[in-house]
Every structure is written in C-alpha cells, then in structure tokens.
Structure 1
Amino acid sequence: MKTLNKLFFAMAVVSLTSCSYVEHFEKRAQVINGLEDRILLLSKENQDLKNKLMQANYKVKTLESRNFYLETQLKDKAPKKETYKQREIASVAKVNSNDLVKYDVYKWDAKEMISIAQKEFDAKNYEKSAQFFNSYTKNFPNSKDVDADFLFQAGVASYESGKHYDWSEKYFTYLTKKYPTSKYYLGAKLWLGMSYLKQNRRDEFFAVVEEFRKKYRNTPEWNILSGHYEKIVQKYKKN
C-alpha cells in the first residue's frame, strides 16, 4: 500500500512537473516569438532607413552634379579676365569657336567630362553631349568607363546632333563588336544602319536591314524598321 502511495505521489509530481515544464516552454515560446517579431520589425525598419539613406545620397549626388553643371555653364559664359597666360595660349593657337569642350583651356578631368556629357544628353543638348563624349574618348582612350552604356549614349548623342554620323557609326560598330551580348546590341545595330543611311551608304544600310529581316523579325527594332522598309526600298531603287 505504501509502495502504491509512493507511486501515485511520484506520478503526481511528474505530472505537476510536466505541466510546469509545458507552461514554462509555452511562455518561452511566446517570448521567443515576440522577439522574432521584434527582430523582423527592426530588420524592416533598418531596411527602410537604408533605403531612405540611399535616396538621400542619390539626391545629394544629383544636386552636386547639377551644381557642377551650372558652374561649368557659368564658367563658359562668364567674361574672362585678361591674363598673360591666356594671351599666350591665344597667340599659340586659335580656339575653335565650334568646340564646345575647350579641353585645352579647361583641362577637364574624366569625371567632369562624363558628368557634363550625360547632363547635356538628358537635356537633349546633343551637340554638346556628343562633343564631350568624343573628346573623352580621345583624352582618356584607356578608360574603363567606355563601356556599353557609354558607347550607346555617345552614339545616340552623335546621331541626334545631326552632324556627327561618322562618330555614331564608330561608337555603334565598336559596341556591336565588343559587347555582342549587351542589352544594347540590337539597338546599336538599328542606329548603325540609320547612321549608314544618313551618310548615303546604301549598301551598308540595306545589309543591316536584311539582317534584321532574316534574323530579328520578332524584335521591337524590326518593328521600327519594317514600318518604313518598303518606302525606303522604293525610294532608293528609284535613285
């Protein structure tokens, strides 16, 4: 009997202890879940702060670029004081009035030139943009910044300037050869064809058109060409 009582007592203790452990673990689980929720919330808040910081940095950079652009514009327009050095430069070589870069005068660094080229491009001042891009490639020929993005933007600026179709041909040709997997590849092919057309190089132009007709008929670029294809063919067959 005593043994039986001891057994019941032991079972009761185990049961109470188990209940205590269950309650303990439930409370611990609640605490842990609460901490996890808090961690997730803090993580989200941290990410939001990072995003806001990135946006703030972007705005700062944008303002810095605009400020730099305005300074360069003012530098172009401000009356220049006569100095011995300037008179000496003028006496050595005449400044080309069509040169909007004036690299020999201002000695732009690489970052400044790209910034101005892109700002002028965004403002649709394609002539100045094209000149800065072209001057950049001459003064910094080994720059790593001359990538697919640079070449495509420089090519479009040159084409849209209405003057430098030989430059646009150069950029788009180089882009298609060096970056055949670039997202700009087909676009560069299209602009290259149009550069040929503007230079009245019909054979090269029709070679590009035929390449699109045979290989890239399901592309937006072909949709642009196909709308004018027959008209262009008829026009140049008559000439």
Structure 2
Amino acid sequence: MYQRVAPDAEIATLATPTVGEWTFDGHTGDTSWFHRDAWARGDEPLSWTTDRHGNADRAINLSGVQLLDTRGGQPLYTDRSYSISVWVKPADANGDGRADGAGDQVVLAADGASVSPFYLKLKRGSSQTTDRWQFTMPTTDAGGAAQTITTSASAVTGGAWTHLAVVWNKGWGRAQLYVNGVLEGTGPTTSSWRAPETGSLHIGVAQAGNFIGGLDDLRLYQRTLTTAEINNLYDL
C-alpha cells in the first residue's frame, strides 16, 4: 500500500507475468505465490544434481521413473497465449553425445482428458545428429495422431545444460521454439484447446516417455514473451 498515487509506469514494474516458477533448489516447492507445489507420485525417490552455475543440489535429477505433478490445478490456460522457460540437461552416461534411454523423452506436458494439449520433448532420431527438441500440439483432446509439430534446427546435446523456451501465440496461431536464446523453429498455423483446470502439469513425465537428466528453473507465463525477454532468461 502506498499513501500516494502510483503512476502507470511504476505500477507496470510491480506486476509480473509469471504464473508458476519451480527452482528445484533441493525441493519440489513452487516459489511463486500460487502454492502449486510439485510432488512425486508413487513416492518415487528424488535426487538432486549440480545446476548450470556449478551449485550443488540446486537442480532436480530425473532417472526416468519419477512422476512429478503440480498441485492445485493446471497452472496454464492452454487455450490462451502462454510461454514456457526451462533448463534441461539430457543424460549422457555412455559418452557418445546421445541422451540415454529408448524413445522420446517428455520434459513437460499438461493434463488432458485423453492427451496433453502440448508436449515439450526430446524427439529421438536414428542417431545423435537427428535427435531434436520438439514442441507438439495435438489438434483435439480426443487423441489420435493429428498434431502440429515445431522442431529445433540444431541437434540435442547430451550432458550439457540447454535452455528451452516455447511461445504459443493464440492471436498468431503459431508456436515458436527457442534453444539457448535462438529461435530455431516456428510451427504451422493451428489452434489450442483448454486443459482441464483440475488437471496437473506433468514435469518430466508422460505416456510418450519420461525425461532422463537434469531439470531446473521451470517458469510459466500466461502471455507471449519477447525475444529480448527470452534472452534475459537464457542469461540468468
């Protein structure tokens, strides 16, 4: 509260577009004000790893068995514009530069009646040079193969922290995929349907395959981010 009139410019600096933020600093708590903590279904053990800045136990380590869901309902209205920012480090236990584990690996998915309205994932190719980051959007909640796909231009780098940002612009009807601050993919024109409010955000898990590796600083926004804002997140 202020005992004066706050000008519009000052009010704008007090607002934040963030609707969810998980730092995974040794816990699965949501550091935003919406109480959407994440929890491991089935009491699967959680472990922590060094983050991109070299700080011990400041990122979560997923081995492909953890089922992390947010509490308190779906954080995003997926039928509106939104943005996603997350740091990931695909596992590379065999040293060949590939992310270990068979099949696709889902970093993030929202709840749906039959399928998720979106999947941010590592799309496995026949070799390391054809592994890609993808953001896919099924055209309906009824399931089936119909979906729009936005793919990164560069290959996935195993064993290295990578910043992924997705911008879904409802007015434009397109999704954009940024990798380490660079726009690498723009999807075809489509629409997006609404995820159930009572559903959860699935972190590192989906029927399409669980993510294996480090995950850190997940942030959600109920609006489109600019390229400058995405670059700022990449520089953090």
TM-score per shorter chain, which class?
Answer: under 0.3
Q: Which protein has the bigger helix share?
A: 1
So what's the TM-score if we normalise by structure 1?
0.26
Which has more radius of gyration? Answer: 1
Structure (1/2) with the larger strand percentage: 2
